[in-house]
Amino acid sequence: MDAEKLLKEKQLKVTPQRKAIISVLQSSNSVLSAQDIFSEVLKTLPGINFSTVYRNLDILLDRGIVCQITPQRGGVLYELRMKEGHHHHVICKKCGASLPLEYCPMEDIRRKLDEKGFTPTEHRFEIYGYCDKCKGG
């Protein structure tokens, strides 16, 4: 995926910072914290500061280029959104590898919530466990 093309499709200004963030996320096979992304971007853009990376992550999140995952241990992790549309993740507790899960259980749950008179406005759903590589060790 070409970062410049992606930014233009989402009607965002193409900047070295945004291209570097997308590049870091593309090269990772796991979800990353803002600090992890900052550390990697710093290698190619030595003058960048953390607030610039964080602000750009918010913009990329708002435009649907990245998605946010809230792990059970706290904090926020980011991943490049490879497909359009809504999806969830399975995340390895050992290596951090993240795989998209196409199924969303919310439609099944929504019927029960409707019965109780509750209207959800958003949801997150992640499954934690161990990938094939890590479950043996």
**Per-residue confidence of the chain (137 residues) as pLDDT tens digits?**
688 998 999 999 999 999 999 999 999 877 899 999 999 999 999 999 999 999 999 999 999 898 888 776 778 889 888 655 567 778 888 887 777 777 778 888 888 999 999 998 877 777 888 988 888 65
**Helix pair 34-44, 50-62: axis angle to 10 deg:** 110
> Helix (H, G, I), strand (E, B), or coil: what is residue 12?
coil
- For the chain, the C-alpha Rg in angstroms (whole number) is 17
Distance CA 6, CA 38 (A): 20
Total of domains in the chain: 1
Nearest to 99 by CA among 116, 83, 118: 83
Closest by alpha carbon to 22, among 48, 2, 42?
2
Kindly write down the DSSP assignment for every residue of 65-99, as one continuous string.
SEEEE--TTSS-EEEE--SSS--EEEEETTT-BEE
**Rounded CA gap, 20 and 38, in Å?**
10
CATH number at residue 72: 1.10.10.10
What DSSP line would sit under 26-72, residue for residue?
A: HH-SB-EEHHHHHHHHHHH-TT--HHHHHHHHHHHHHTTSEEEE--T
If we measure between CA atoms, which residue out of 71, 72, 83, 88 comes closest to residue 32? 71
Which domain range does residue 59 map to? 3-135
Q: Which of 117, 79, 115 is nearest to 100 (CA)?
A: 79
Model pTM? 0.71
